[in-house]
């Protein structure tokens, strides 16, 4: 079942990504020759109009092949280059492919990706990652309307000899305001205390049916952030009761909340990549197909909302990662097109080929590392 759920997740997200490329290519009147879910050997395919729709053997990627695409590599699938002067005419000789260009007609040039202006090509390539981010945004909006679990501001423990205990705060008190600012969730408490920079605060709590106020001076503390780094902060010495409520939002509120949540996830994803490059986050935290399958299975068992939330998180990751300036990814193609836009000349074919080879080696290396981590984490570690 984990494999089935993983295929569902990856299939949906890959479809969304490639449909972005496909739709915007069509808007710019580019001929789309192939639309494939997966890469590698073809499993099934059907020609509809000018496009062949495929399901290929390896479901870890996909690609859209456009007429005059110029040798792009999408999702791990390598395409033979098509000259800007002509369409390929390929013959096999000892395992090699010879490309014999011919002059394109004026009508063919209007349908050729390579003959579109840089801004059009940028829009087509950027559409894939953007569609992934939009999918995540819509998913978060739906989740807000379905109901979002949140931890209340109820206190479960008051630490001995800490500022809150000395002031008289008790277990089961519910924090309702800090310095007059309304508190609803437990995360609001941490943010409000951190914002004080150690200055005294007025804490309002609900105790039974009455409200009580305390003036408390937070004390310095050293904690760890999301990435395991030690950070200086302030605390008053209380712990959450872990009480969870489900909040439902109307359409307008859901759009606002969903937008904020999407922004937060994008920020965390970008910062995770930065911390990974800085070696703050160790490389053994990278996960591959096995981790995705395991998490897909766990979230599916937890319910539809959890499964949708996992898809949204993974969609943001897919969108952000594809914008990295690595030649085999969308971000690499965007780099070349922006170069052409700024310097009024394309990057040479030879330079692009070398860059794609380096990018492909880098991507394969990361995939192997992630797969190795999965094996160690889920098989060797359990043994």
Among 307, 331, 304, CA closest to 318 = 331
Q: Where are the alpha helices (DSSP H) in the chain?
A: 2-27, 106-111, 118-146, 163-167, 186-195, 251-277, 289-302, 304-322, 330-343, 349-375
The total number of structural domains that make up the chain: 2
Q: Would 9 be classed as within a structural domain?
A: yes
Boundary of a domain, candidates 195, 227, 246? 246
Tens digits of per-residue pLDDT, 216-261?
999 998 878 777 778 888 899 999 999 999 999 999 999 999 999 9
pLDDT, residue 86, reads: 38
Same domain, 182 and 229: yes
Q: Would 282 be classed as within a structural domain?
A: no
Distance from C-alpha of 41 to C-alpha of 52, rounded to nearest angstrom: 14
Whichever domain contains 181, its CATH number is: 2.30.42.10
Check whether 101 has a pLDDT greater than 60.
no
Is residue 266 classed exposed, middle or buried when 0-12, 13-18 and 19+ CB atoms within 10 A define those classes?
middle
Q: How far is CA 45 from CA 21, 41, 200, in A?
A: 19, 11, 68
| SS3 (DSSP) at 237 | coil
Boundary of a domain, candidates 226, 246, 266? 246
3-state DSSP: the chain helix, strand, coil percent, rounded to 5? 50, 25, 25
Q: What is the pTM of this model?
A: 0.83
Domain region containing 68:
2-129+330-357
> Tokens 């904020």 identify what position?
260
Residues 6+ apart with CB under 8 A from 58: 38, 39, 40, 76
Region 271-275 average pLDDT: 88
Q: What percent of the chain is predicted at pLDDT more than 90? A: 49
Same domain, 102 and 165: no
pLDDT, residue 196, reads: 84
Mean per-residue pLDDT over the chain, rounded: 85
Query: How many CB atoms lie under 10 A from the CB of residue 4?
Result: 12
Sign of CA dihedral 283, 285, 288, 290: positive
Boundary of a domain, candidates 216, 246, 276? 246
| SS3 (DSSP) at 179 | coil
Distance from C-alpha of 291 to C-alpha of 297, rounded to nearest angstrom: 10
Q: Would 363 be classed as within a structural domain?
A: no
Label the pairing between strands 219-224 and 238-240: unpaired
Same domain, 103 and 68: yes
Check whether 89 has a pLDDT greater than 70.
no
Residue in 18, 69, 74, 77 annotated catalytic: 18
Distance from C-alpha of 180 to C-alpha of 187, rounded to nearest angstrom: 16
Is residue 10 classed exposed, middle or buried when 0-12, 13-18 and 19+ CB atoms within 10 A define those classes?
buried
Same domain, 56 and 86: yes
Same domain, 120 and 157: no
Same domain, 8 and 120: yes
Same domain, 155 and 220: yes
Q: Would 309 be classed as within a structural domain?
A: no
Comparing 52 with 40, the larger pLDDT belongs to 52
DSSP H or E segment with residue 347: none
pLDDT, residue 38, reads: 86
Same domain, 233 and 344: no
Same domain, 213 and 172: yes
Q: Would 82 be classed as within a structural domain?
A: yes
Same domain, 102 and 189: no
Q: Is 353 an annotated catalytic residue?
A: no
Q: Would 256 be classed as within a structural domain?
A: no
Same domain, 11 and 112: yes
Q: Would 174 be classed as within a structural domain?
A: yes
User: At CB < 8 A and 24+ separation, what contacts does 210-219 make?
Assistant: 211/176, 212/168, 212/173, 214/164, 214/167, 214/168, 214/169, 215/167, 216/163, 216/164, 216/167, 216/169, 217/163, 218/163, 218/193, 219/162, 219/163
Same domain, 41 and 122: yes
Check whether 90 has a pLDDT greater than 60.
no
Tens digits of per-residue pLDDT, 151-199?
999 999 999 999 999 999 999 999 999 998 999 999 999 889 988 888 9
Tens digits of per-residue pLDDT, 12-50?
999 999 999 999 999 999 999 999 998 888 899 899 999
Q: Would 176 be classed as within a structural domain?
A: yes
């Amino acid at each position: 079942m984990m494999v089935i759920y993983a295929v569902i997740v990856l299939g949906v997200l890959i479809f969304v990504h490639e449909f972005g490329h496909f739709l915007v290519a069509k808007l710019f009147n580019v001929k789309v020759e192939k639309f494939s879910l997966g890469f590698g050997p073809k499993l099934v395919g059907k020609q509809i109009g000018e496009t062949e729709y495929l399901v290929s053997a390896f479901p870890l990627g996909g690609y859209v092949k456009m007429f005059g695409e110029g040798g792009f590599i999408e999702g791990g699938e390598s395409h033979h280059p098509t000259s800007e002067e002509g369409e390929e005419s390929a013959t096999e000789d000892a395992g090699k492919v010879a490309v014999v260009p011919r002059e394109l007609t004026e009508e063919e040039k209007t349908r050729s990706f390579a003959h579109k202006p840089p801004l059009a090509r940028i829009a087509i390539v950027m559409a894939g990652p953007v569609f992934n981010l939009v999918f995540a945004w819509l998913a978060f909006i739906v989740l807000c309307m379905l109901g979002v679990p949140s931890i209340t501001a109820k206190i479960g423990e008051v630490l001995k000899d800490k500022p809150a205990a000395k002031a008289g705060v008790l277990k089961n008190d519910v924090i309702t305001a800090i310095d007059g600012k309304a508190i609803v969730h437990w995360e609001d408490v941490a943010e409000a205390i951190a914002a004080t920079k150690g200055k005294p605060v007025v804490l309002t709590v609900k105790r039974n049916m009455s409200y009580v106020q305390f003036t408390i001076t937070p004390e310095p503390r050293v904690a760890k952030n999301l990435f395991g780094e030690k950070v200086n902060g302030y605390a008053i010495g209380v712990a959450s009761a872990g009480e969870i409520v489900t909040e439902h939002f109307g359409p307008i509120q859901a759009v606002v909340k969903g937008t904020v949540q999407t922004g937060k996830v994008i920020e965390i994803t970008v910062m995770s990549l930065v911390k990974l490059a800085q070696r703050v986050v160790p490389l053994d935290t990278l996960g591959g197909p096995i981790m995705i399958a395991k998490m897909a299975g766990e979230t599916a068992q937890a319910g539809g909302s959890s499964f949708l939330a996992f898809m949204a998180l993974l969609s943001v990751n897919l969108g952000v990662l594809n914008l990295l300036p690595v030649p085999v990814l969308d971000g690499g193609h965007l780099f070349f097109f922006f170069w052409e836009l700024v310097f009024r000349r394309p990057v040479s074919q030879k330079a692009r080929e070398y860059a794609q080879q380096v990018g492909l080696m880098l991507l394969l290396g990361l995939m192997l590392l992630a797969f190795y981590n999965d094996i160690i984490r889920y098989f060797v570690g359990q043994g």
